Amino acid sequence: MYNSTNRIGLTKLIASGFIAWCGEISAPPSFAIENDTSQVYDLDQFVIVSSRTELRLDQVGSSVELITSSDFEKLKQPFLLESLRGIPGFVLRNNGGSGQVFAMTTRGLNTNRPAVFIDGVEVSNPASGQILNFGTLATSGIDRVEILKGAQSSLYGADALAGVVSIETKDGREEPGSFFDVMVGGFDTYQAAASTWGSKNSFNYFAMVSYFDSEGYSVQDPGYGPEWADDDLYRNFNALVNLGYQISDDSALELVTYFVDSKAEYDPGDPSFIFGDPFVDNYTETKQIFAKMAFDFKPAENWDSELSVGINESRDFSFSSFPFEADGDRFELNWNNTVEYSDEFQLVAGAKYKKEKNISYPGDRSEESLFVENLFFPDENFVLTAGGRYDDNSAYGSESTFRGTFSYVVDEIENRFVRLRGSYGTSFQAPTFLQLFSFFGDPDIKPESGTGWDLGLESVFNEGTTTFGITYFDYDIMDKIVFSFASNSFANEDRYFSRGFESYARFQVDNNVTLNFSYTYSDAKYEDCSPAERVPEATVTAGMDWLSPNEGVLFSLNGTYVGNQFSLRGDTEKMSEYLVINIAGTYRLNETCDIWLRIDNFFDEDYEEVAGFQTAGFSVFGGVNFRF
């Protein structure tokens, strides 16, 4: 853990003073901070990711998490990474500070990454298959994030074995305005973000730019020697443009372009293992462009259709004693349709063509896909879905997958109800270009395949102010792709299992206080019964949001506990457990200006997310928001 002792005393004093000051404010500002505290469970919220068409949350059979821009406002985190750490079943980790190498464990799946989309465009690196680093994506331009858990290849194809993360950007379909945010803080960090949006006649627009700069800290374990004790800087630039044009009541055009440019210095971890050189400036540069052009139209009164083209250009370069490039392009052509035959039956179907070009290694590939999802509504409390997908890839052949879900409201009186839900599906994860064609690759590697199911219970009572949920999950994966040190290449493992449960509780104590809690248990192992690496048995999250009686101050406290876990397969000792507490407070000065303060790792916990890589200690950040 990085610890700057010459700043901790001063920053703690400033933080304590700010909190005390917030509690003493009595004159209400003229404009209340936006914070929906009327209920902790909104039955009218809709999600799209679960069946690729709008469904109310209480109709979805799969496990879904929804994060909105108001959540980003409470947490005051500049990047999406930190905003996802409280999701039940998710364990996020990176090799040190912002922008460092990122990975995650989802419901005990230690190397399986969820499929990630921005406005429907697949955003993994086409060359390496690496999941989008959420530490590079600024929250300033994100409207909402929908997370779909479980086996989801029947809807989203390869790489959805561990679920889907669907990110929607802001589109400007609201009253015109502009926003400007400035942040400063520990490790010589500053950020500036600006956005503007609006609409005129049939045209709407949203534009955002964000720049982040931090000198960082040395993430290298100091036990490797003082020569590693250099700060690891991180710089990040985001730009987003979202344009829309309503041609008629039944047709519209949309154009979205997202650009990410980042540079992160890093340390190698164990130098004896990867031949790290302390006198070489290790760094990674990433440039990514995601673009989408879509045409929405209605061929018939009950038929909604979208034709879209998506582009992903990714350029990753890592400089060290052994430089590495992962450059790739992806082109997508999608046709998605929703047909409402009656109140009891809807059909969702589509086709996709995808072409991936690997610039760093040979082995371009193309894919054609067809999918169908049937939605049945026998009555207002019962929803069934059943669907399947066929993918034909030029590199690894064809795959067929299916999924079924149910949602049944057992009891409903006003805002109190009890609901059973469940899902079962088959999925696969395709080998990446790196695993197939690189120096460490094997062109005969097979895709991973598996089944996954879950069964959940939700209960909402006390007029919608209290909700509880628990979900059991189970995965059985064949041909898991692992790195074999015996052959010094990637290979298929016979089998991998993961099972456990995730639970949550949310309470609206009164109009000013909201509490939330989650607990996840995971038990993952290989066929030889050896425990899986990077899978903590227990994770716990807890949080509180407090809105002052005068509605001028919003205070949030969030804690994350991650239990013991093995770092590598075959380890005999586990990494230490850890508990991290973050707090944030916002005070609305007037209708156009807020000031805010955020404290990360309030109790200065000494911990590692990845063995050998330090994390930040107690650190303070503050800023000012302006609305026009």
pLDDT tens digits, residue range 357-388? 998 877 789 999 999 999 999 998 999 999 99
Q: For residue 1, is pLDDT > 80?
A: no
Q: For residue 178, is pLDDT > 90?
A: yes
Q: Which residue has the tokens 């156009």?
A: 592
Give the pLDDT mean for 380-407: 94
Residue 42: the pLDDT is: 60
Residue 31: the pLDDT is: 36
pLDDT tens, residue by residue, 115-146:
999 999 999 999 888 889 999 999 999 999 99
Give the pLDDT mean for 147-161: 93
Q: Are 517 and 504 in contact (CB under 8 A)?
A: yes
Q: Which residue has the tokens 């086409």?
A: 126
Residue 39: the pLDDT is: 52
The rounded mean pLDDT for the chain is: 88
Give the pLDDT mean for 311-334: 90
pLDDT tens, residue by residue, 599-628:
999 999 999 998 888 899 999 999 999 998
Give the pLDDT mean for 170-176: 86
Q: For residue 17, is pLDDT > 50?
A: no
Grade residue 392 by pLDDT with cuts at 50, 70 and 90: very high
Total-model pTM: 0.91
- CATH at residue 17: 2.40.170.20
Residue 346: alpha-carbon gap to chain centroid: 29
Residue 6 region by backbone torsions, left for phi larger than 0, else alpha for psi between -120 and 50, else beta = alpha
Grade residue 30 by pLDDT with cuts at 50, 70 and 90: very low
Residues in the chain: 628
Residue 276: the pLDDT is: 62
Side chain identity, residue 411: D
> Which among 186-195, 314-323, 489-498 has the top mean pLDDT?
186-195
Q: For residue 303, is pLDDT > 90?
A: yes
Give the pLDDT mean for 557-572: 92
pLDDT tens, residue by residue, 525-551:
999 999 999 999 999 999 999 999 888
Residue 247: the pLDDT is: 96
The number of folded domains in the chain is 1
Q: For residue 271, is pLDDT > 70?
A: no
Q: Which whole-number Å values give the CA distances from 610 to 80, 104, 535, 595, 614, in the listed order?
A: 19, 11, 12, 34, 8
Cβ atoms within 10 Å, residue 13: 10
Residue 463: the pLDDT is: 77
Grade residue 487 by pLDDT with cuts at 50, 70 and 90: confident
Give the pLDDT mean for 282-308: 95
Residue 553: the pLDDT is: 94
Residue 3: the pLDDT is: 46
Residue 486: the pLDDT is: 75
Residue of 159, 87, 149, 94 whose CA lies nearest to 122: 159
Higher-confidence residue of 357 and 24: namely 357
Q: Are 543 and 86 in contact (CB under 8 A)?
A: yes
Q: For residue 20, is pLDDT > 70?
A: no
Residue 98: the pLDDT is: 76
d(CA 565, CA 537): 7
pLDDT tens, residue by residue, 504-518:
999 998 889 999 999
pLDDT tens, residue by residue, 65-116:
999 988 998 999 999 999 998 899 999 988 877 788 788 999 999 888 899 9
Grade residue 323 by pLDDT with cuts at 50, 70 and 90: confident
What percentage of the chain has pLDDT greater than the value 70? Answer: 91
Q: Are 557 and 583 in contact (CB under 8 A)?
A: yes
Q: For residue 458, is pLDDT > 80?
A: yes
d(CA 605, CA 603): 6
3-state secondary structure of 91: strand
Grade residue 589 by pLDDT with cuts at 50, 70 and 90: very high
Strand blocks (E) in 537-618: 538-547, 553-562, 578-590, 593-600
Grade residue 327 by pLDDT with cuts at 50, 70 and 90: very high
Grade residue 33 by pLDDT with cuts at 50, 70 and 90: very low
Give the pLDDT mean for 326-335: 95
Owning domain of residue 349: 5-627
Residue 273: the pLDDT is: 60
